[in-house]
Amino acid sequence: MQQIINILISLTAFLFAVFIAGATEIDIVLRVVILAFIIQWIAFLPAYIFQTEKFYDLTGSLTYLSVVWYSLFYSSNSFTDLNGANIAIVLLITFWALRLGSFLFMRIHKDGEDKRFRTIKPSATQFFMTWTLQGLWVSLCSMCALTAISSETGVIVNTLFYVGFNLFLFGFIIEVIADKQKTAFRSIPKNRDKFITTGLWAKSRHPNFFGEIVLWTGIAVMSFSSLSGLQYLTLISPFFTYLLLVYVSGVRMLEARADKKWGDNEEYKKYKANTPVLWLRFRG
């Protein structure tokens, strides 16, 4: 029964992404969304055969690079009719994908495994579902940008463009700093079994996820003026990112693991009571 459910979830995820892509009425967008899933399904085969998740995050980042550059290539007649704003949004997503992909790839190779996958890998349908959901993640997060890039006007430069650009930079900087702070904290042997409460982690229990949500909100705002009609459905990007990080693969799992490990620790209880789960506390 569980195997059937996993397959149905995978099918629903694919059809949902295809539906929104189709609603844009832009052929390039539909093609790249399908491409995003195909890349995941191809990568799933060796991952399942060799029972490894070590290139899962890296594949996600490479998929982002594939879809945004594919869209830019075909919307600009093979790079002969380039829109400066299109290039800007593609480069922003490129920098983010390269940074996050390399960071997660190095981290998993240093740690040896991603504990989230321990019970997932042995099940073909559950592991396949996980890869399919990554295709959904790439598709929904990038679709507003893909639509804007591929629209007749391309990405439009106006006040909203600059607001979105600054939101992206703010979120990106927050994510990078948070990751660096936690990496530095973990590199100290005596901190192996401790939880971080310094830097941005004193203002949020998950500042890296806060940064991620803000930067994708920035991409959505940058894309907004190029959209029309049902294309506004692609603005689901920041909402999907929030739901994914808070209720699926991020906060929910990490909070449960932390509660299990430090739930009886008085310092942890105090930290948890006084520190927001996600949003940065700018006071105090």
Q: Quick: pLDDT tens for 1-38.
A: 888 899 999 999 999 999 999 999 999 999 999 999 99
User: How many CA atoms are closer than 13 Å to the CA of 150, on its beta-carbon side?
Assistant: 26
> E-strand spans in 152-220?
none
Evaluate the CA torsion angle 37, 42, 47, 53 in order and state its sign: negative
CA separation for the pair 97, 61 (Å, rounded): 5
CA separation for the pair 64, 49 (Å, rounded): 24
Distance between start and end Cα atoms, the chain = 50
Using the 8-state DSSP alphabet, how is residue 191 labeled? G
Evaluate the CA torsion angle 21, 66, 142, 107 in order and state its sign: positive
| 115: CB partners within 8 A, 6+ apart | 257
In SS3 terms, 2-49 reads as HHHHHHHHHHHHHHHHHHHHHHCCCHHHHHHHHHHHHHHHHHHHHHHH
Of 169, 178, 207, 179, give the one whose Cα is nearest residue 91: 169
Using the 8-state DSSP alphabet, how is residue 241 labeled? H
- Tokens standing for 81? 């009719």
pTM, full prediction = 0.92
Each residue's pLDDT expressed in tens, for the chain with a length of 284 residues: 888 899 999 999 999 999 999 999 999 999 999 999 999 999 999 999 999 888 898 999 999 999 999 999 999 988 888 899 999 999 999 999 999 988 888 887 777 666 777 788 888 999 999 999 999 999 999 999 999 999 999 999 999 999 999 999 999 999 999 999 999 998 888 888 888 989 999 999 999 999 999 999 999 999 999 999 999 999 999 999 999 888 887 888 888 888 888 888 889 889 898 999 988 887 65
Contact 97, 212 (CB under 8 A): no
Please tell me the predicted confidence (pLDDT) of residue 284. Answer: 57
Contact 260, 195 (CB under 8 A): no
